[in-house]
């Protein structure tokens, strides 16, 4: 089972690669060489990282929830769990 044959894994690979590519771009929301004050004087890029991190954790939780519902991620009835 790999991303070339399974549409579910291919879709989630694309989602997580898009999130990775978004974070490595030198956008002012994630990277800034000068102080740009945001709400309460906190630099804007801190809020960008917090929002992006929260979104990634939410996507991981959604991915895990969807995996638990798929038959290929379930144990067979005859197998014992380690």
The torsion angles phi and psi of 31, rounded to 5 degrees, stand at: -145, 130
d(CA 66, CA 62): 6
Can you give the pTM of this predicted structure?
0.77
Flag whether 13 is in a domain: yes
Return the higher-pLDDT residue of 76 and 17: 17
Residue 60 pLDDT > 60: yes
Q: What is the mean pLDDT of the chain?
A: 85
pLDDT score of 82: 56
Alpha carbon distance 62, 68 (integer Å): 10
Question: Number of structural domains, the chain?
Answer: 1
- Fill in the DSSP letter of residue 71: G
| pLDDT of the residue at 55 | 96
Residue 77 lies in a domain: no
Give the domain range for residue 24: 1-49
Please indicate, yes or no, if residue 63 is contained in any of the structural domains: no
Residue 78's pLDDT is: 58
Q: 11 in a domain, yes or no? A: yes
Assigned domain for 68 exists: no
**Tokens describing residue 38:** 């945001």
The answer to whether position 58 is within a domain reads no
Percent of the chain with pLDDT over 90: 40
User: Could you tell me the two tokens for 4?
Assistant: 């070339």
The answer to the question of residue 28 being in a domain is yes
4-45 tens-digit pLDDT: 788 888 999 999 999 999 999 888 888 888 887 888 888 888
**DSSP code string of 16-38:** HHHHHHHHHS--TTT--SS--B-
């Amino acid at each position: 089972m790999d991303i070339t044959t399974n549409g579910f894994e291919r879709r989630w690979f694309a989602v997580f690669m898009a999130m990775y590519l978004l974070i490595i771009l030198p956008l002012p929301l994630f990277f800034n060489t000068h102080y740009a004050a945001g709400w309460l004087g906190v630099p804007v890029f801190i809020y960008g990282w917090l929002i992006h991190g929260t979104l990634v954790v939410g996507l991981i939780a959604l991915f895990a929830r969807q995996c638990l519902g798929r038959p290929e991620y379930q144990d067979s009835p005859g197998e014992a769990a380690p």
